[in-house]
Amino acid sequence: MTAHHLSLEELEQALNTDLSNGLTTARAQALLAQYGENRLKEGKRRSLAARFLDQLKDAMILILLAAAGVSLATALYEGDRAALWEPVLILLIVVLNAALGAAQESRAEQALTALRGMTAPMARVIREGSQRPAPATALVPGDVIVLEAGDLVPADARLLQASALKAEESALTGESLPAEKDADVRLPEQTALGDRRNMVFSGCAILNGTATAVVTATGMDTEIGRIAGLLAGEPDAPTPLQETLAALGRKLGAVALIACAVIFVLGLLSGMPVGELFMTAVSLAVSAIPEGLPAIVTIVLSLGVQRMAARNAIIRRLPAVETLGSAGVICSDKTGTLTQNRMTLTAVWTGAQGRETPGTDLSEQARQLLAYASLCCNATVTFHGDREERLGDPTETAILSAARNCGVDRHQWEQLLPRTGELPFDSDRKRMTTIHRREGGTVLIVKGALESLLPLCVAGARTEAAAAAEELSREALRVLAVAVRELDGPPESVTADALERDLTLLGLVGMIDPPRPEAKAAVELCRQAGIRPVMITGDHVATASAIAGELGILRPGDRAVTGGELSAMSEAELDSAVEDISVYARVSPEDKIRIVKAWQRRGKVAAMTGDGVNDAPALKAANIGCAMGRAGTEVARGASDMILTDDNFATIVEAVREGRGIYDNIRKVVGFLLGTNIGEVLAVLFAMLLWRETPLRSVQLLWINLVTDSLPAIALGLEPVEADIMERPPRPAEEGLFAHGLGIQVVCQGVLFGTLCLAGYALGRQLTGTLAGGQTMAFLVLAVSQIVQAFNMRSARPLGQTGVFTNRALNGAAAVSLGLMALAVFTPMVRAFGLATLSPALYAAALALSLVPVAVMEVYKKFRNGS
């Protein structure tokens, strides 16, 4: 359908819709069933079975399966029932590992899907004659939608009405300039896409103006849907951290394969059975290569992000979590983010009583001032118990709220002095006047800036009012004056010159958008964490400085500059001054980009808040773009890395805290998995070098891998954020994963695990006189010590300070892992694993060796912390 070519009447008929009232709900539901949801097709999701089979495609797994199959066939052919246990058990463990890997991968995808659902766009649609919000996915051809600046167009649509409408269509047409739209034109059928001025297209941003339009195509039928096939099935790009870990896994895998090859050669030279040796070498490779590390990290990232979403910070891109931990400066808007975005009247001044604070004990003169001021307002405030619903100019709603809270009944005053006329506010006069009928005459009430009212006043405390206004302004209060004039009858002429003269000044009201109660503590926490808070606002510099000073953003020695002063600075001047400037006032969205880049040139990772269409470039330029969830436009949200659903500065700080915690936990998981895997390789390698014997059979290695590499690692990733994490400086962006000695610690832990395993093997071999006895001790020591190590890795602080069992997820994971170990050691399955029954003394020795990492790590932690 060539919607740009049809007349509106033809289009209405073709779509079977009502362009005035929109579709009915029933018709919309029927069309939704016919056309499907308004979304681009995603790549076909793999089933759980497909994921399971993918887990078995790894070369080492295939080799292990082939070896186990050959071993099983040989045992069956020779009729050796005892030899059946090991290959059968290996096959079962591989299947269990594959099932666990598939489940982890599926859970990671579900978590990411849930995150995408959190930022699903909404649309404003007219159905059955009324405008209502609706998910963009529910739109159908024939729906009438409402658009305004900041919206993302939810579907291809033909314009019905448009006012100064401009759209950003560069992603679709390649045209860098905004496309100007015209609802009244009818275009030739062959008009090129970029010239269809009467159309708007799905995914494009509305930069200016307002419009109504009728949806002509949804989903894959839209213009952007036609090119969506190029992206079909494209997987989500891995985060930098995931890429780093994948590369690390490949390097470790190569090292593990070399070690396994050495072990295999040594075993051949020692005359070990080739089949058993081959199975052991391959099993060691399977156990040692951390192939599940990226998936576990994805789960930890995704679960952490869901936790952040519950705290009003929706992460749109996973790499932002990694970046949050490095944030060194937060550039925040003032209104609504640091302040409540709710003007509050905090001072009333009258000539008779001076300054008073609004409350129930106000003087009669102050009450009368508020009553007259409330009559000269066009806004409304509806009260629902303690909750207020404000509609209209913020200064007027502040007056109405204060008047009501001070016991002034506006409704009664309106009955006493009903309004009969009005001179609206305009920016030239800086005041408004309302006309009210009273018994025996008329009252004129004038409200506006004091400098515009004083020359018109002939009575009242004018000199004192000027001094009082100056004092209130120094406190960053917005000051309005209220004056009256009484007439004997109706005014002869309703003009400013005729009415706004010979006034009596009643007094002043002062109001401010107060800081959020939690903002000051959040700013202090920022500074404690080594993060520089910066205020950026379009407000006046005096108001911004006062709020910033109250919050602790502007400190002695810091500067506050205006947009004009900023524009006068060269890049070099800004670079040298940026660390001294804490407040930017009267700045434009374009100035935000300069500020962000100046901080970035100073080596800082910068977070930036924004809500408007013009803020999108600054949000993209920032390392972490934070869009407002309530006040923000769809364009700003689309350009952001994080959405604040409560528009609150404290939420940014909390997100930084969570981001640091998530990265911290990932380091713990990586350290845990790599340390234990290195221990397994070293134990088998040095046993072959020393004794030409393997301390662990293939089935035992695989069981340890199953028991210790998954559940404890994931549970460790759920460790609560450490109490002192915001007392540390920001992590440098270029800092590696193994900084602060983690790499050395991992190697040392691997050596420790290998040594303990060898000690257990030697002790068991010596005291039982059997290979199975030694392998049982090695099996127990290596597995249990790794489970215990998960508790060691929880914190750099001693366990006594963190609490041994305060991570419930880890407690549960450890209990399951120990239960699986007990299943292998203390049940009839002991034979299948090739284990021996030991004396109580040896079991006690195995437990003692397993607990050695606790003692070693506690000593190391106390030494490192200097306690």
Tokens standing for 141? 């051809």
CA torsion sign for 537, 539, 541, 544 is negative
CA torsion sign for 304, 306, 311, 316 is positive
Torsions phi, psi for 212 (to 5 deg): -120, 150
The secondary element (H helix, E strand) that includes residue 446 is: strand 441-448
Which of 45, 240, 231, 118 has its CA nearest to residue 640? 118
Q: Cα(330)–Cα(352) distance, rounded to whole angstroms? A: 46
Q: Output Rg (C-alpha) for the chain, integer angstroms.
A: 36
Sole residue written with tokens 């190029």: 230
Torsions phi, psi for 375 (to 5 deg): -70, -25
Q: What is the longest distance spanned by two Cα atoms in the chain?
A: 122
Q: What is the DSSP letter of 729?
A: P
Torsions phi, psi for 17 (to 5 deg): -130, 180
Amino acid, single-letter form, for residue 151: D
Tokens standing for 863? 């030494």
Report yes or no: 430 and 448 within 8 Å, Cβ to Cβ: yes
Q: Cα(545)–Cα(551) distance, rounded to whole angstroms? A: 10
The secondary element (H helix, E strand) that includes residue 644 is: strand 642-644
Q: Cα(66)–Cα(73) distance, rounded to whole angstroms? A: 10
Contacts of 623-628 with CB under 8 Å at 24 or more apart are 623/323, 623/326, 623/327, 623/733, 624/320, 624/323, 624/324, 624/327, 626/652, 628/333, 628/336, 628/337
Report yes or no: 465 and 472 within 8 Å, Cβ to Cβ: no
Query: Taking CA 202 as the corner, what is the angle to CA 198 and CA 207, rounded to the nearest 5 degrees?
Result: 70
Torsions phi, psi for 378 (to 5 deg): -105, -10
The secondary element (H helix, E strand) that includes residue 223 is: helix 223-226
Q: Cα(811)–Cα(825) distance, rounded to whole angstroms? A: 21
Q: What is the DSSP letter of 737?
A: T
Instruction: Identify the bridge partners of residue 605 per DSSP, sorted by sequence position.
Output: 327
Helix (H, G, I), strand (E, B), or coil: what is residue 192?
coil
Active site residues: 333
Report yes or no: 119 and 108 within 8 Å, Cβ to Cβ: no
